[in-house]
């Protein structure tokens, strides 16, 4: 499949890190895996049949080519070009429960070579949805992404953020938390986990803390709690979705696949650009839960294809 370049339009645009997870198994062996929350989201949206572009640059190194191939093979447009800077690396260790613990190498890497506000220079008029999150929110990068989100909202673009906090990757936890809250306030669609809320300085009951992030322009705030299920807070109330009971291999990329399933359901219904009704939000939650359940039964982040969720 030929590589696709900057300037080709897609309806959904995703930016943020694409990296290599160096997975350390319990026996000490290390296995590389493609990763990064925005990369995972773009990959999953492509597999679910959505028109999506990955906008951050990919490295020209060996790892960058593997990341590019994976996106292209999942139907994702590469609109960020290539960079001579290396691919970012993350060391990943699984604890006794299969939960991932990360350490990042983020200096002078390809995906950070994109100046966020430069996206405004050639923003395609057909692109009405933009997502960013995770490591991009760490200062000083997060400040620029926050301004981009604000300007895109002014242009009528629907904005999405998965805060996916990584406090150990930031030098100033207090500033990081403040930046994450500011970025979250610019999102029409917002996803947080209970761990994210704590890292953002929002303590107490997770549901109440997540609901506090809702503002006059928010369409929904999603709260994921792993095996305890997920919540969707919207303008008319809240919805709860139990987690599916499956055999867990590991949880790498589970939240990304959940969010992709949720967004894909809304996008298919043409409902990403206005507050949808409760029935559709409930359907989106269920699709997100199914997508996450498929993923956690496999090693690493392996998003499901659309036919795996729909049976056809």
pLDDT score at 47: 98
The pLDDT, as a whole number, for residue 279 is 97
User: Given a cut of 60, is residue 6 above it in pLDDT?
Assistant: no
pLDDT at 91: 84
Query: Residue 40: pLDDT above 60?
Result: yes
State residue 312's pLDDT score.
56
**Average pLDDT rounded to a whole number, residues 261-273:** 97
Of residues 98 and 40, which shows the higher confidence score? Answer: 40
pLDDT score of 143 more than 80: yes
17: nearest Cα among 61, 64, 51: 64
Token pair in block for residue 301: 């982040």
Write down the pLDDT at residue 262: 98
E runs forming strands in 5-153: 12-14, 19-24, 30-35, 52-54, 58-59, 77-78, 82-83, 88-94, 100-105, 129-133
Q: How many Cα neighbours within 13 Å face the side chain of 45?
A: 30
Give the residue-averaged pLDDT of 4-32.
79
pLDDT one-digit tens code per residue, 82-91:
999 999 998 8
CA distances to 20, 112, 272 from 107, rounded to whole Å, are 14, 8, 34
pLDDT at residue 1, as a whole number: 34
Q: What's the confidence (pLDDT) of residue 174?
A: 97
What is the number of other CB atoms lying within 10 angstroms of the CB of residue 124?
Answer: 14
Q: Whole-angstrom Cα distance, residue 164 to residue 180?
A: 9
Token pair 């604890």 in the structure block, residue: 95
Q: Which pLDDT score, from 0 to 100, does residue 5 have?
A: 40
Q: Give SS3 for 19.
A: strand
Query: What percentage of residues in the chain have a pLDDT greater than 90?
Result: 80
Kindly state the average pLDDT of the residues 210-228.
96
Mean pLDDT calculated for residue range 243-261? 92
Span 245-269, average pLDDT:
93
Average pLDDT score over residue span 164-182:
95
| Range in 43-57, 95-109, 148-162 the model is least confident about | 95-109
Candidate ranges 18-22, 166-170, 174-178, 301-305; pick with highest mean pLDDT: 174-178
Q: Write down the mean pLDDT value for the chain.
A: 92
What is the rounded average pLDDT of the residues 76-96? 89
pLDDT digits (tens, 9 = 90+) for 182-214: 999 999 999 999 999 999 999 999 999 999 999
pLDDT at site 7: 44
């Amino acid at each position: 499949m030929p590589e696709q370049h900057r300037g080709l339009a897609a309806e959904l645009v995703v930016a943020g890190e694409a990296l290599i997870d160096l997975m350390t198994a319990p026996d000490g062996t290390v296995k590389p895996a493609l990763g990064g929350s925005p990369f995972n989201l773009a990959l999953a949206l492509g597999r679910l049949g959505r028109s999506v572009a990955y906008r951050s640059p990919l490295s020209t190194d060996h790892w960058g080519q593997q990341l590019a191939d994976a996106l292209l093979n999942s139907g994702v447009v590469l609109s960020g070009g290539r960079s001579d800077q290396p691919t970012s690396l993350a060391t990943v260790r699984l604890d006794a429960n299969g939960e991932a613990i990360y350490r990042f190498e983020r200096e002078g890497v390809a995906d950070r070579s994109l100046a966020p506000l430069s996206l405004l220079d050639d923003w395609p008029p057909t692109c009405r949805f933009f997502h960013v999150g995770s490591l991009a929110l760490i200062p000083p990068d997060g400040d620029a992404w926050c301004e981009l989100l604000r300007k895109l909202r002014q242009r009528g673009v629907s904005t999405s953020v998965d805060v996916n906090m990584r406090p150990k990757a930031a030098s100033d936890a207090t500033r990081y938390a403040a930046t994450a809250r500011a970025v979250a306030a610019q999102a029409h669609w917002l996803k947080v986990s209970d761990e994210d809320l704590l890292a953002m300085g929002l303590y107490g009951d997770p549901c109440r803390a997540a609901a506090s992030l809702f503002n006059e322009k928010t369409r929904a705030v999603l709260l994921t709690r792993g095996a305890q299920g997920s919540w969707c807070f919207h303008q008319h109330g809240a919805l709860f979705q139990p987690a599916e009971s499956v055999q867990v291999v590991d949880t790498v990329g589970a939240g990304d696949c959940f969010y992709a399933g949720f967004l894909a359901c809304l996008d298919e219904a043409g409902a990403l650009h206005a507050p949808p009704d409760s029935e559709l939000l409930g359907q989106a939650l269920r699709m997100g839960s199914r997508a996450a359940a498929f993923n956690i039964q496999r090693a690493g982040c392996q998003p499901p294809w659309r036919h795996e969720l729909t049976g056809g």
